[in-house]
Amino acid sequence: MAVASFTRTSAHKQENPQYKKLILALCFCSWFVVMNTTMFNIALPNIITNLHITPIIGSWMVSGYSIAFAIFTLTFSRLSDYISIKKLLLIGLSIFISSSLVGFFAENFIILLCSRILQAVGAGAVPGLSMIIASRYVPISERAKSIAMIGSGAALGFGLGPVVGGVATQFFGWNYLFLIPLMVLVFLPILMQLSPENERREGSFDIFGCFLTSCTTIAALLTISQTSYLFGAVFVGLAIITMFYLMKQNHPFIFPQLLLNKHYIRLLVIGLSGFIFHFSNLFMMPLILGNLHHKEPITMGLLIFPGAIIAMLAGPYIGKLIDLYGSKRFISLGQLTLLLASLLFAFLQAYNSYFIMGAYIFASIGFSMLNSSVANETAYLLSAELNSAGMGLLQLLQFIGGGIGVTICGLLMNLQGELPLYIQYERVYFMLASILVLAFSYQIIFRKVDIEN
CB–CB of 121/266 below 8 Å?
no
pLDDT for the residue 121: 92
CA distances from 112 to 105, 107, 116, 181 (A): 9, 7, 6, 15
Q: Dihedral, CA atoms, 112, 49, 219, 250, nearest 10 degrees? A: 20
Q: Dihedral, CA atoms, 440, 441, 446, 452, nearest 10 degrees? A: -30
What DSSP line would sit under 138-189, residue for residue?
A: S-HHHHHHHHHHHHHHHHHHHHHHHHHHHHHHHHT-GGGGGTGGGGGGGTHH
pLDDT for the residue 287: 80
Nearest to 267 by CA among 446, 17, 64: 446
Distance between CA atoms of 360 and 232, rounded to whole angstroms? 34
pLDDT for the residue 198: 65
Distance between CA atoms of 440 and 270, rounded to whole angstroms? 8
Q: Dihedral, CA atoms, 322, 323, 328, 329, nearest 10 degrees? A: -50
CA distances from 137 to 8, 141, 142, 161, 194 (A): 5, 12, 10, 30, 11
Nearest to 138 by CA among 329, 327, 323: 323
Mean pLDDT by 10 residues, the chain (453 residues): 43 54 88 84 76 73 79 87 88 93 88 91 89 82 81 80 80 88 89 77 78 86 76 90 86 81 86 88 83 80 83 83 84 92 90 89 90 85 78 80 77 79 88 92 71 49
Name the CATH code of domain 16-199 (choices 1.20.1250.20, 3.30.70.20, 2.40.110.10, 2.90.10.10): 1.20.1250.20
CB–CB of 123/33 below 8 Å?
yes
pLDDT for the residue 47: 81
Nearest to 132 by CA among 21, 22, 271, 36: 22
CA geometry: angle at 182 spanning 22 and 30, to 5°? 40
Distance between CA atoms of 356 and 289, rounded to whole angstroms? 8
Distance between CA atoms of 287 and 281, rounded to whole angstroms? 10
State CA 160 to chain mean position distance.
15
Nearest to 47 by CA among 107, 120, 117: 107
The amino acid sitting at 247 is M
Name the CATH code of domain 256-453 (choices 1.20.1250.20, 3.40.50.10800, 2.115.10.20, 3.30.470.10): 1.20.1250.20
